[in-house]
Amino acid sequence: MTTTQSSYNGVVPKAREITTQPRFSDKVFRFVVTSGGFTSLIILSLIAVFLLLQGFPVLRDMGFGFITGFEWNPGDVDNGVPVQFGIGAMLIGTLLVSVIGLIIALPIAVGTALFLTYYAPEWIKKPLTITVDLMAAIPSVIYGLWGFFVLMPHAVYWAKLLHNYLGFLPFFKMPADVFERSPFIAGIVVGIMIIPIITAISREVFSQVPLDRIQAAYALGATKWTMIRSVVLPFGSSGVAGGAMLGLGRAMGETIAIYLVLNIYFAPNFQVLFSAGGNVASLIVSKFGEAGDYELRGLMAAGLILFIVTLLVNFLSNAIVKRTSRTGK
């Protein structure tokens, strides 16, 4: 009689090592992509190291006050004016302008993406997509000039309206009657600049919504709007958030456009309609030309801080995207 019973005697064998010999072409390709991946990492680290080395003396001298201080003064040894570097106001300004930009850009970009994916007639889809993508290719100095000469007169009027009717909100209070070159206006300019980024990514995720879910919604008697609200938006939310964070990163690093439309002012200011603000990148560009050796190191240190803040925002947003994307996929 044969037996099919296992003769297992309880001795646990050592797990075998499973290997494979990759083909030569595979090795070459592996090397190419690996070096590509590491190159960006190395460049990023080298920039961080350069900024740290250059900025370290100032960071050491100023200590924590470099981040929390509100004064930027290269000092005057002959007249006994002490050197004082602090970018607190610039950090506040960076966040204010970026957040205003995001608040303005997000609804417009998501609306544009939904229109392009679900509403636009075929003949307009392509030209409109190209136009929106082209917005990203316009140099930021053009946005800055346009913002200064064309947008600002209008934006000042809108700012006055906001102040008149919503002035009881702390953000819309005015310490003095100067509406030009405010964080509000800079935020609008930056918002327009990041619309194409958020639109492109949102459009991509919206077009990947599984067809069977869309059909399921329609077959249940959904209107286009209810279908979008309960199928497309839950599916696309994490992608939209990712696009928004990419836009936020761009907004935080924006330099020339903000330099043109924002009044750099070294005092903490949360009144977004008031002509005082700044951002770290535009601080660097405004001081760079006439900076002495030590001030230059101060600007490098400011760059390092901006670099770190941007990284932190990216990590934070990744965490948020991960938390929100668990459902809907």
Partner 1 sequence: MSGSNPVKSLAAVASGARVANKFTPGSGLEANGVHAWFGKHHALADINLEFPANTVTALIGPSGCGKSTFLRTLNRMHEFIPGAAMAGEVLLDGRDIYEPGSDVTKIRLKIGMVFQKPNPFPSMTIGENVLSGLKLAQLKIENKDEILEECLTRAGLWKEVKDRLGAQGGSLSGGQQQRLCIARALAVSPEVLLMDEPCSALDPGSTLRIEETIRELADSIIVVIVTHNMQQAARVSDYTGFFLSDGGPGQLVEVATTNEIFSTPRDKRTEDYVTGRFG
Least Cβ distance, residue 267 to partner 1 (angstroms): 46
Query: In the complex with partner 1, which residue's Cβ is closer, 128 or 214?
Result: 214
Contact flag: residue 131 with partner 1 (CB under 8 A): no
Q: Are 260 and 145 in contact (CB under 8 A)?
A: yes
- Tokens representing 189? 């300019």
Sole window of 91-99, 156-164, 217-225, 313-321 interacting with partner 1 (rule: CB under 8 A):
217-225
Contact flag: residue 287 with partner 1 (CB under 8 A): no
Count the site residues for partner 1 by CB under 8 A.
21
Query: In the complex with partner 1, which residue's Cβ is closer, 214 or 246?
Result: 214
Sole window of 82-90, 126-134, 211-219, 248-256 interacting with partner 1 (rule: CB under 8 A):
211-219
- List of residues 6+ apart from 294 with CB closer than 8 A: 57, 58, 74, 83
Sole binder of partner 1 in the list 234, 253, 265, 309 (CB under 8 A): 234
Query: In the complex with partner 1, which residue's Cβ is closer, 39 or 223?
Result: 223
Contact flag: residue 12 with partner 1 (CB under 8 A): no
Sole window of 98-106, 123-131, 224-232, 315-323 interacting with partner 1 (rule: CB under 8 A):
224-232
Sole window of 76-84, 170-178, 230-238, 265-273 interacting with partner 1 (rule: CB under 8 A):
230-238
Nearest to 183 by CA among 126, 253, 100, 114: 100
Least Cβ distance, residue 237 to partner 1 (angstroms): 9
Residue 136 burial (CB count, 10 A): 14
Contact flag: residue 123 with partner 1 (CB under 8 A): no
Which amino acid, one-letter code, is at 298? G
In angstroms, rounded to a whole number, what is the distance separating the alpha carbons of residues 197 and 105? 10
Least Cβ distance, residue 215 to partner 1 (angstroms): 6
Nearest to 289 by CA among 90, 63, 74, 138: 74
Q: What per-residue string of b and e applies to 184-219 under the rule 16 or more CB within 10 Å gives b?
A: bbbbbbbbbbbbbbbbbbbbebbeebeeeebeebee
Contact flag: residue 208 with partner 1 (CB under 8 A): no
Rounded to the nearest 5 percent, the helix, strand and coil shares of the chain are: 70, 0, 30
Strand partners, 73: 84
Residues near partner 1 (CB under 8 A) are 210, 212-213, 215-223, 226-227, 230-231, 234-235, 327-329
